[in-house]
């Protein structure tokens, strides 16, 4: 995230951090999260729990979430969309 931010600041805008209104993340599995959600600690914990269902994808997504929190702080809201939820998995395995 720091490398990407450095590239954007160097090539597009020196005030890039100030111009970001929100950060969006695509997460593979969100357990019961089936709609776009504001990332709270409770939502992040649920994504962590779902990492057993999508270990490569969710762990990488969580790294992106934590990096964005570090770069932009809590002042910039973060949202996620989860591609799969527990209700969808149940449908597939019926």
86 pLDDT exceeds 70? Answer: no
Q: What are the structural domains, with CATH classification, of the chain?
A: 21-92 (3.30.420.40)
Q: Are 81 and 29 in contact (CB under 8 A)?
A: no
> Tens of pLDDT along 8-26?
767 776 676 678 889 999 9
> Tens of pLDDT along 22-74?
999 999 988 888 889 999 999 999 999 999 988 889 999 999 999 888 888 88
């Amino acid at each position: 995230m720091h490398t990407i931010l450095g590239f954007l600041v160097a090539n597009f805008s020196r005030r890039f951090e100030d111009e970001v209104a929100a950060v969006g993340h695509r997460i593979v599995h969100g357990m019961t999260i089936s709609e776009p959600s504001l990332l709270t600690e409770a939502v992040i914990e649920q994504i962590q729990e779902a990492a057993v269902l999508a270990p490569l994808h969710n762990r990488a997504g969580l790294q992106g979430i934590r990096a964005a929190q570090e770069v932009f702080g809590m002042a910039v809201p973060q949202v996620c969309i989860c591609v799969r939820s527990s209700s969808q998995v149940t449908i597939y395995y019926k």
